[in-house]
Structures are given as structure tokens and as C-alpha cells.
Amino acid sequence: MFNNIKKLLDWLDGKHNHPEVIFAQFNELRTKVPLLYFVLLSNVFALAYTHYEVAPTSLTIYFPAIVVFLCLLRVKIWLNFGSNNFSLAEARHQIRVILVVAVFMGLIFAAWSFAMYHYGNDLQKSHVAYFMSITVIGIIVCLIHLPAVAILVMATVGMSFVIFFVSSGNPVFIAIALNFLMVMVVLTLIMLGYYRSFSEVIYAKLDLEKEHAKTRRLNKQNTLLANQDSLTELPNRRSFSNHLSELIAVRAKKDFTGDNGFVVGLIDLDGFKPVNDIHGHAAGDRVLADVSIRLTEMLDDSCCLLARIGGDEFAIIVEKPLSAKEINILGKNITKTIQQPISMRSGQVQISGSCGFAIYPEAGTTPNSLMDRADFALYHAKEHARGSSIIFSSEHEDLIKQRSQVELALRQALTHDELYLYFQPIVDGQSGEIVGLEALARWNQEQLGQVPPEQFIPIAEKSGMIGEITQVLFAKAVKELADWPEHIYLSFNLSAHDLVSKAVIKKLIKIVGVRGVALSRVQFEITESVMMVDLEKCIEMTEWMREEGFKIALDDFGTGYSSLGYIHKLSFDKLKIDRSFIHNLTVDQRSQGVVKTILELCNNFSVTCIAEGVETAEQQALLLELGCIQMQGFYFYRPAELKELKLN
Ligand code: C2E
Ligand code: CA
Ligand code: CA
């Protein structure tokens, strides 16, 4: 019982109402309360007027005068609220005041009208009944947003009206009172229903706002994730591209005042992959984070934007014109910064970085062309001197044109069957006997002449033609292999793109199968740069190829970054010492040292070693002395057409 009363009081007080509901109620009341007083006053005037002749002036003049004064006072207070912002406590307080004032005034009006009832004829008495019912209904309608007050008014004023008129004994008044009671009940129900919808709308609005806030928060997070590299917290490729496009759009405008030139730079780390492979991914991440911090500090200039656009690739935009000299200095600073050793738990790591720059608008006027040009310059920097920087120039433009010419011609070369093979024997250095033949691609193009493989193979790789070229040339090589004596094997060069899936290798197996040759007579040469593209994949593929029966040779060994670092991870049968070490073998102690170390390594791993590029008898003698048996080079044979070689 006590609990229920407490609940009722809490409800009347709106204690559990959400602040938003209270504010909404208060806002509604700002306009409704003055209207309510207007209704009240007009009712009072009407009743005072009809009773002027019959009732004492205290009731028809003084009372209304006091009421008018009080009502206008309240109206003034409410109008003063205007559209000021209210605190929750103030709004709550005003609602409580209404509660008290409404009941208090209601009871005064009831007492007044009951007093008036005693004067006048039946018609005037009816006006009292009419006054009371219309006033109560008016209050309910005006305070529909505050059901607590409306119900209190009904319970006090409404009910005293009903009781008063029922007890009058007059059947007309009894009927009016009962009728009014029914209308009150219905009005209460309607009002409560309306109030429920009203508060539901507010709660729904609140939910919606919450959802909106959540969506906004998520959107913000998404934008951040979509535009930021999580490891280095630098802008990512997408963000970089957007920035570049926007910058070009601004600079391309005719009304851009000032010099519209700017510089795009691409930075690629050299030797990052071995760090990842040898020291683990955590170390790789550490290197990237370190490099990004150092570059950020070094490029501490509001004109510079640094982004990480790929695994070990960074990009910068310098939003002001720079001279070639300034760009070169910037490039030097960048490469120097990257070369600083990085301390790891497993020791110090040192990597280097190459840069390619493209200048807007000389090198290009679209994001793609600028990035391509910078990439081209970067590629050249890597090719010619790792750890250097190059600015895209008109010579590069010519090279690009030439390359696209070669690419076009290469497509035709496949359909016109212009590609063929030379073979270079691998010999037993002691007896001079041929043990194997390395197939080397040749291409004689009508206009371009003899295009060296070092030129067209990379183009074929970049343009995605290498897979087809490998298959065509391999089929030609295996066709020849089938006719060779059993003890001579075929050595065939594979590119990184040939090692991407088992499906590609399966095609090669099939090609051998068609000729009925044993897989063990085929050796694939794989260079370190091939392995560096994806070491894990390379390990997986070479292991599988060896299980199938093929032989694997590591080509150009010793030229890469840390050949010794991952060699134990690979499974292979032979190792070819790069010809650069053989070239200086007899004159350079360091080369001799490297060759000795590699030969020891081969001994430890029980793999055969082949020396490439043997050009002189001295080199042959020294290699034999060091314990290298298999050799290849111009001293024995130059690459040649098969018919020039005697195999039996
Ligand atoms: P590589 O695999 O190192 O091939 C050996 C290269 O050294 C050949 O150049 C060969 O002519 C040259 N050479 C052989 N003996 C000597 C020597 O005593 N002295 C000197 N200075 N050079 C010697 P080539 O034929 O121009 O091939 C260049 C590269 O092109 C190859 O290097 C190989 O990486 C690639 N290549 C050639 N054919 C193919 C192919 O069919 N597929 C793929 N993926 N790459 C190929
Ligand atoms: Ca080779
Ligand atoms: Ca080689």
C-alpha cells in the first residue's frame, strides 16, 4: 500500500522521467499555460457576467479582479520564460509549481463556483455547471502533456463538482454530473494514451540520436582505418592517392597563384625482405615502424606528406617546387636516414632504401602518370645503384617508349613463334665433358634486331607474358632434351612468376611427360631475386618440385643481400656461383674468399657447385684447385644453337 502510494507520488512528480521528456513537457507548457489562463479568465468573466445582477459584488467583481491579477501574474512569469534554455532542475521545479498552483487554483475556482450556485435561477445555476465542466475539460486539454496535473485537477476539482451536483438532488444536474464523470474517464484514457505516444516519440528520438552518434563514431573509426596504415600510423596508399588527386586538381586550376610545381617521391627499402624472413615478422614490423619515425622526423616540414603505400614502400609529396639539386639532396637525406642501423634484440640490422622522384607537371599531370614515372625512376635507382635516388628524366621517357614498343612486339613474338633457344653447356671442369645444357632464351625481332633476354624477360614479367613464354620455351627445350644422351640434363631458368602456383608447375610436368623424359633430367635455375619475391611460396614450391622429381639449382648465388641467411631454409640440389666472383677470381683475394666459402657451404650441404662465367684456363685451374668440378662459361662453350654442339 505504502509502496503503491510512493509509486503514485513518484509518477506525479515525474521522478523517473527521462530529462528529455521533462524538457519536452516544459517546452509544450510554455505555449499551453498562457492559453490555459486565457480559457480560465474568459470562463470566469462569462460566469461573473451572468451572475452580476444576482450575486454579491465580492463574488462578481472582487473575486474575478483578484483572479485576473493572479492569472496575469502567472502568465507574465510564463511569458518571461521565453525561449531561454532551462536546466533540468529548473524545468522540474516549474512542473512541480504548476502541480501545486493548478490544484490550489482549481479548488479556489470550485469554491467560487459553488458559492455562485447559491445565487440566480436554474438557467444561471446551469451556467455554473457548464462553467465547471468546460473549465476542467479546458485544463485537461491544455495540460495534456502533463497528465499528472490533469489527473490531480480531475480528482480534486472534477470530483468535487460531481459530488456537489449529484448531491444537489436535481435530476438535470445529476445527469450533467454523471455525464461529465464519464467524459472525464474517457478523456483520462485518451490523455494517457496520447502522453504515452508523446514520450515514446521522445524515446525513439533519443534512440535514433544514440544510433546516429554510434554511426558517426564508427564512421570516424572507419575513415581512420581506411586512410591510415595501422603499423606506422602514416597515411596509407588510398589516402596518399586521394591527397595527390586533390593536389593536382588545385594546382591544375588556372587561378592558382604561385608556382604550381611539386614533387612526388617513391621510396623502396632494399634488403627488407631478408630481415622479415630471417629475423621474423615482428622484426620486420619494427624496421618499418623505425624507418617511418625517422623519415617523419627528417621530413619535418608542413609541405611534406609521407605515406606507407605498400609492404616496404613509402611515398612522399613535397608540395612546393624544388630544383633538381634540392631533390637530389632530399633523396640523399632519405637514403642516409634509412641506412642508419636499427638495434634489435637479435642484433643490429641495416637496410637501405632507393628513391624515385617525379616532378609535376613535367613528368606527368595525372596521379597515375606521376606515380608511374616515380616508380620508373625508383626501378632505375634500384637497378643501377641500390640505396640511391633518381629523378625521372626525358631519357627515362624514351626508355618507357622503347619498352612499350618491345612489349608490343613481344606479344607478336609469341604468335609469330619468334622466340627460340640457345644452349650453353655445363661441363665437368676436369674432363671437359658436357654434363648438362642451360637453355637461354633468344629473340630476333625484325625491326628491333636481336633483343637480349635481360631486356625482354623483365618486360615479359611485368606485362604478365612470362608464363606463356616459359611454357613455349620449355616445350622447345624438352623436345630437344628427349634426343640427348641420358647423362645430359637440361637446365632451365624460371622466373618468379613461374613459381606462383602448383598449377603452373603441373603444366611443366605435363610437358616433360608428353616427351617421356624422366623429371630428374630437368633442373630449374632459380635466382635469389626470384626467391625474394615471396620466400615462403618459393620454399613451398621448390620442395614440392623436388618431391615430384625435378632438380633445383640456385642461380647467380652470392649477388643477393643475405644469401647465407636463408639458404638453410631452402631445399636445392645445386648452386651456381655468380660469374662476377669468377671474373675476378685470379686477381682478387676477396672473390677467392667468397668462392671458397661457397664451396665449403656446398660441401656441408652436400650439393654440387657450378662455377658460371669461366672465361680463362687460369680460372678453370684455380677452380679445380679449390674443389669446384662443374663449370660453365665462354672458355668451354658460348651459348649456341644446338646443332653446333656435339653431344655424343
Ligand atoms: P643467367 O641465368 O645467369 O644466364 C647466364 C648468362 O651468362 C647468359 O646470358 C650467358 O650468355 C652468359 N654467360 C655464359 N657464360 C659466360 C661467360 O663466360 N662470360 C660472360 N660474361 N657471360 C657468360 P644471357 O643468355 O644473355 O641471359 C641473361 C639472363 O637472362 C640469364 O642469366 C637469365 O637470368 C635470363 N634468361 C635467359 N633465358 C631465360 C629464360 O628462358 N627464362 C628466364 N626466366 N630467364 C632467362
Ligand atoms: Ca641461369
Ligand atoms: Ca646465372
For residue 420, report the distance from its CA to the centre of ligand 3, in Å.
19
**Residue 263 to residue 324: CA distance in whole angstroms:** 10
For residue 443, report the distance from its CA to the centre of ligand 1, in Å.
13
3-state DSSP helix/strand/coil percent for the chain, to nearest 5? 60, 15, 25
Ligand 1, from 427, 437, 440, 459: best to mutate by most atoms within 8 Å of Cβ?
Answer: 440
Question: Could you give the angle at the alpha carbon of 498 between the alpha carbons of 525 and 524, nearest 5°?
Answer: 20
Least confident stretch, 139-143, 160-164, 437-441: 139-143
Give the nearest ligand 1 atom to 632 CA.
Answer: 15
**DSSP letter string, 105-141:** HHHHHHHHHHHHHTSS-HHHHHHHHHHHHHHHHHHHH
What is the share, in percent, of the chain residues with pLDDT greater than 90? Answer: 58
DSSP state of 558: T
Residues near ligand 3 ion, CB 5 Å cutoff: 555-556, 612
Whether 102 has a pLDDT exceeding 60, the answer reads yes
Task: Provide the pLDDT for residue 202.
Answer: 87
Cβ atoms of 294 and 338 within 8 Å: the answer is yes
pLDDT band at 617 (very low <50, low <70, confident <90, very high): very high
Query: 368-398: per-residue pLDDT in tens?
Result: 999 999 999 999 898 877 789 999 999 999 9
With cell 650439393, the residue in question is 607
What is the share, in percent, of the chain residues with pLDDT greater than 70? Answer: 96
Whether 607 has a pLDDT exceeding 90, the answer reads yes
Query: 224-240: per-residue pLDDT in tens?
Result: 888 899 999 999 999 99
Residue nearest to atom 42 of ligand 1 (CA): 493
Q: What value does the mean pLDDT take over residues 155-176?
A: 90
Amino acid at 363: A
For residue 445, report the distance from its CA to the centre of ligand 1, in Å.
19
Give the nearest ligand 1 atom to 421 CA.
Answer: 41
Residue nearest to atom 22 of ligand 1 (CA): 613
**Residue 48 to residue 66: CA distance in whole angstroms:** 13
**Residue 239 to residue 243: CA distance in whole angstroms:** 6
Q: What value does the mean pLDDT take over residues 298-324?
A: 91
Amino acid at 372: D
Residue nearest to atom 45 of ligand 1 (CA): 493
Whether 550 has a pLDDT exceeding 70, the answer reads yes
The candidate with the shortest Cα–Cα distance to 40, out of 58, 13, 12, 63, is: 63
Q: What grid cell was written down for 478?
A: 624438352
For residue 617, report the distance from its CA to the centre of ligand 2, in Å.
22
Whether 483 has a pLDDT exceeding 70, the answer reads yes
How many CB atoms are closer than 10 A to CB 194? 13
Ligand approaching nearest to the C-alpha of 440 = 1
**Residue 470 to residue 467: CA distance in whole angstroms:** 5
For residue 236, report the distance from its CA to the centre of ligand 1, in Å.
39
Instruction: Please state whether the peptide bond connecting residue 64 to the residue before it is cis, i.e. omega within 30 degrees of 0.
Output: no
Q: What value does the mean pLDDT take over residues 175-180?
A: 92
Query: 394-451: per-residue pLDDT in tens?
Result: 999 998 888 889 999 999 999 999 999 999 999 999 999 999 999 999 999 999 899 9
pLDDT band at 143 (very low <50, low <70, confident <90, very high): confident
**Residue 466 to residue 496: CA distance in whole angstroms:** 9
For residue 438, report the distance from its CA to the centre of ligand 3, in Å.
10
Task: Provide the pLDDT for residue 84.
Answer: 65
- Spell out the residues 6+ positions from residue 70 whose beta carbon is closer than 8 angstroms to its own: 105
With cell 618491345, the residue in question is 406
Give the nearest ligand 1 atom to 424 CA.
Answer: 14
pLDDT band at 565 (very low <50, low <70, confident <90, very high): low
Whether 562 has a pLDDT exceeding 60, the answer reads no
**Residue 235 to residue 308: CA distance in whole angstroms:** 6
The candidate with the shortest Cα–Cα distance to 199, out of 42, 376, 11, is: 11
Single pTM value for the model: 0.61
Ligand approaching nearest to the C-alpha of 454 = 1
Around ligand 1, the residues with Cβ closer than 6 Å are 424, 439-441, 452-454, 457, 473, 493-495, 525, 555-556, 579, 613-615, 632-634, 639
Q: What grid cell was written down for 99?
A: 502541480
**Residue 634 to residue 648: CA distance in whole angstroms:** 20
Instruction: Please state whether the peptide bond connecting residue 452 to the residue before it is cis, i.e. omega within 30 degrees of 0.
Output: no
Q: Which ranges of 228-259 does DSSP label H, i.e. alpha helix?
A: 237-252
**Average pLDDT value over all residues in the chain:** 90
Q: What value does the mean pLDDT take over residues 7-12?
A: 66
Ligand approaching nearest to the C-alpha of 639 = 1
Residue nearest to atom 8 of ligand 1 (CA): 440
Q: Which residue did the predictor score with more confidence, 257 or 470?
A: 470
For residue 578, report the distance from its CA to the centre of ligand 2, in Å.
9
Q: What grid cell was written down for 182?
A: 464519464
Task: Provide the pLDDT for residue 2.
Answer: 66
With cell 619475391, the residue in question is 533
Phi and psi, residue 309, nearest 5°? -110, 0
Length of the chain equals 648
For residue 511, report the distance from its CA to the centre of ligand 1, in Å.
23
Amino acid at 165: F
Amino acid at 337: T
Residue nearest to atom 12 of ligand 1 (CA): 613
Whether 161 has a pLDDT exceeding 60, the answer reads yes
For residue 303, report the distance from its CA to the centre of ligand 2, in Å.
47
C-alpha dist (Å) from residue 565 to 285, 574, 631: 19, 17, 25
Give the H or E element holding residue 18. none
Helix axes 19-50, 63-81, angle to 10 degrees: 150
- Spell out the residues 6+ positions from residue 243 whose beta carbon is closer than 8 angstroms to its own: 235, 305, 307, 317
Ligand 1, from 493, 527, 631, 634: best to mutate by most atoms within 8 Å of Cβ?
Answer: 493
